[in-house]
A = this chain, B = another copy of it.
Amino acid sequence: MKQLRGFTYDEISIGQTASYSKLIGEQDIQMFSALSGDANPVHLDETFAATSMFGERIAHGMLTGAVVSAALAMELPGPGCLYLGQTLRFSCPVKIGDRITVQLEVIKKRDDKQFITMNCEVFNQDNELVASGESMVMASPEKLQIDRPPSPQFKLI
């Protein structure tokens, strides 16, 4: 079983970077709708979406937010971190079949509270910026050594 490894507050330095990628597929759009209750036809209805400014269905903006969450939890600081806040500006739509990559860079450390601020940019496979903002987290105070919890699997019914 894969071991999870994260960085403690002290192991993280200004300028440190990490990245995390995900291919956005049809099932992700459906799953985000099922999970959130967001049934906006710009994401789900082909005919409606054809009349919108993008001419086709696009992914939910906050699906990119979910991938940012995974970047923080799995890469930097990594497992055991706590999510304190996020700003996100959606600058370009994510389409079905796009591979998005979250790029994180530590820009601030606040020693008294052990808070870390990271610059957060998300690009598609054509290197277009799809979202940007800042991520605020608290790293695990102790070094984490734990097996990766099993990944839940879902099936569309």
Binding site for B on A (CB under 8 A): 4, 20, 22, 28, 30-42, 44-45, 48, 52-53, 60-63, 65-70, 73-74, 79-90, 133, 136, 144, 146, 148-149, 151-157
Minimal Cβ-Cβ distance residue in B for A30: B152
Q: Is the interface of A mostly helix, strand, loop or mixed?
A: mixed
Number of copies: 2
**A69: B residues at CB distance < 8 A:** 36, 38, 60-62, 65
Q: In the complex, what distance in Å separates the CA atom of A79 from the CA atom of B32?
A: 16
**A136: B residues at CB distance < 8 A:** 89
Minimal Cβ-Cβ distance residue in B for A33: B152
**A68: B residues at CB distance < 8 A:** 62
Contacting residue for A31 out of B85, B88, B152, CB 8 A:
B152
- Identify 14 new A-B residue pairs, CB closer than 8 A, beyond the known A84-B90, A89-B136, A154-B156: A4-B39, A22-B37, A28-B35, A30-B154, A31-B34, A32-B35, A40-B79, A48-B146, A60-B69, A61-B83, A65-B65, A83-B90, A85-B89, A155-B155
